[in-house]
Amino acid sequence: MYFRLEFGLICWGSIASVSEIVFFYIFLDSIRLFLCVHIVQITRMTK
């Protein structure tokens, strides 16, 4: 019983960390996309 609970906690922790990593990558990707669009708009304005 105790072993199963511990194993479940380890699995849950690894799943949580994976979801955090995925969220972090999506967050970085959206920031990069936003910056690219912003830079393109600025360069178009200055031309």
Question: What's the pLDDT band for 1 if we cut at 50, 70, 90?
Answer: low
Question: Does 45 fall in a domain?
Answer: yes
Question: Does 3 fall in a domain?
Answer: no
Specify the pLDDT at position 47: 72
Q: Six-digit token pair at 28?
A: 């970085």
Specify the pLDDT at position 17: 81
Question: Does 46 fall in a domain?
Answer: yes
Q: How far apart are CA 44 and CA 47, in angstroms?
A: 5
Is the per-residue pLDDT at 33 higher than 80? yes
Is the per-residue pLDDT at 40 higher than 60? yes
Q: Which residues contact 7 (CB under 8 A, 6 or more apart)?
A: none
Question: Does 30 fall in a domain?
Answer: yes
Q: How far apart are CA 39 and CA 33, in angstroms?
A: 10
Gyration radius of the chain over CA positions: 20
Three-state secondary-structure class, residue 4: helix
Q: What pTM was estimated for this model as a whole?
A: 0.49
Q: Which domain holds residue 34?
A: 23-47
Number of independent structural domains in the chain: 1
